[in-house]
Structure 1
Amino acid sequence: MNDKERDEPSRDGAEIEEGPDSVRRGLLKMAGAVAALTLAPGVTVFARDLVLKGQHKAKGPVRYGLLIDARACKTGCDACVRACQDYNGLSHDPGPDNAQWIRKVTITDEKTGFTRSFPVMCQHCAHGACVDVCPTGASFRRPDGIVLVDKHRCIGCRYCLMACPYKARSFVGRVVKDQRPWAPRGKGTAEGCTMCVERVEAGKLPACVAACQKAGHKAMMFGNLHDPKSAIAVRLSEVATTTIRADLGMAPGVHYRGI
């Protein structure tokens, strides 16, 4: 059924001022004085304060989320996966060193043999474990519900990878070339689905949702869960849905129908 948990403001992890990492955090504090840092030619990461307090902050009662209808998701179709890879500059090779911000999974009822195939990505939880365990506050939740990683603060501890029950985070273990300006992938940092935040702020759909609609499957909906007049909120009020591992109490922003 639909989750009705009330959202709470994100809780940043406390900074630890002892040990060798304190030097890096000191540099990050200095870096916070500027609005953005350039990691490579054409690749710029906006500072966290700008994302939270400046022009990128969503206005009004917004909680962005997804509704995925597994009944309409076609087995063998990977349009959403490829769209994410192409848009964010990820490799199509599913090797262990290559990230997948969204992946297709198949579940099977052992008794009946009935199967469902559907995409899984960062669930953009209201009370995400990745945010709770992050020692530097690098994993954070925006006021509009989108969960991101601040590359300035990430120290590569990988706590978020271990804490996420959805296996939605990955680690950049090598230098990445030909990066997309909107999707910087610095070596030694964690990463995951950003819900195509820059597309959302431009009034567009996330790449995965747009690709699914273009393929004619209409298995994915995106919108403001807090707007009762939005198409996704209306749909959620009409049909029975669930969230993956709802028992954990993390209040995911991604809802599923038919699983």
Structure 2
Amino acid sequence: MLYHALLLVSTLTVSFSFFLVYKVAVLEDDINKLRGDISNLKPHSKESPDGMITGMSRTWERSKQVASLNSQQQRQTAKDSQTLCSSTASSLRMKREQAGCSGGTVGNVTVIPWIVALHQGEAISSTGDRIIIQQGGFFIVFGQVLFQSPGTIMGHIVRSRGTDQRSTELLRCLQEMPQTNCANTCHTGGMVKLEREDELELVIPDRPQAQVSMDADSTFFGIIRLN
């Protein structure tokens, strides 16, 4: 009886040993296959970071080119600009326009005596109280007037006059004035397309008694070329 038990244990031990040897062999084979797959993947893993770095480098170069172009455009824009500000004159000038000459506002208009505060580039010039366009294109036009007239509606318009002497209203601003502490700013601005030799002016229509602050930081008129 004991003999048979020992024989059974020996048989099981040998069988289990063979099974372990088989499993070890299978595992070694799997490990070798994995090593081969990893070896095949190594060139791709090297190329992928390089490709990513190359793509990032190209993106960085494009970003620098775009930034450089934007900087050049900004410098070009800064070269083509003009700002007029109100002078220290104690009174405003009045100009009467004849019917049929302007094609726009007819009657008395108040003209502010401007002086040149900033002028850069050759695309814009000025004469008298008008801005002259030397190179056509798109422009940012802006204007502000600080009114000091009590109890009424004040405002101004920015208009252009072409070579045919017809006037076109570009921008308009209206502001209601209080009865007391009568100081209110009327500001307007926008993008417009202008042709060569167009003339721009800012005027106050139909307000012969307009009282305007003549400080340069309160009343001004300007233009910036975009292209």
User: TM class, shorter-chain normalised?
Assistant: under 0.3
Instruction: Give 1 or 2: higher helix fraction.
Output: 2
Higher RCO, Cα 8 Å, sep 6+: 1
Is the radius of gyration larger for structure 1 or structure 2? 2
TM-score for the superposition, normalised by structure 1: 0.21
TM-score for the superposition, normalised by structure 2: 0.23
